[in-house]
Amino acid sequence: MIITNSGKTPALNVTSTMTMSYGLSSTPIEDIVKAIEPNSAGDTTRDVIFPGVINPLPADTHGLVLGDGRINRLKSGDDSLYVIGVIEYNDVFSPKIHRTMFCGKLNRSLTGFGNCQNFKSIAN
């Protein structure tokens, strides 16, 4: 996954955490997020991302391997694969920490990630 600073000033002290989660599609998104949500972005590396710069964001896969059985369950909709993370940064105007949480759910054709249903309401 990549992130881009779409603002006009540098993002300072950027930390990020992103992880993947695989489970039953019937599991409520609240339970998935609770199981893996970091206490904070937690990464000890503090980056600066300048305006317009594209930055890769690595994901912790926890050693997840998608064999034929899991792929078939993803295609059938029985199981889901999520990418969930948090990015924290501050800007040149204030020491206030800005926090952005995100969640993507792999579509059944396995071609891309869409928004996680009901995620916005629990991320706030």
Q: In the chain, what are the domain boundaries? A: 2-123
How confident is the model over 91-104, as pLDDT tens digits? 888 889 998 888 88
pLDDT recorded at residue 35: 59
pLDDT recorded at residue 70: 92
pLDDT recorded at residue 39: 44
Whole-number average pLDDT of the chain? 83
- Parts of the chain with a pLDDT under 50: 38-41
CA distance 42 to 88: 9
Q: What percent of the chain has pLDDT over 70?
A: 87
CA distance 16 to 9: 19
Cα dist. 101→48, 65, 114 in Å?
Answer: 19, 25, 15
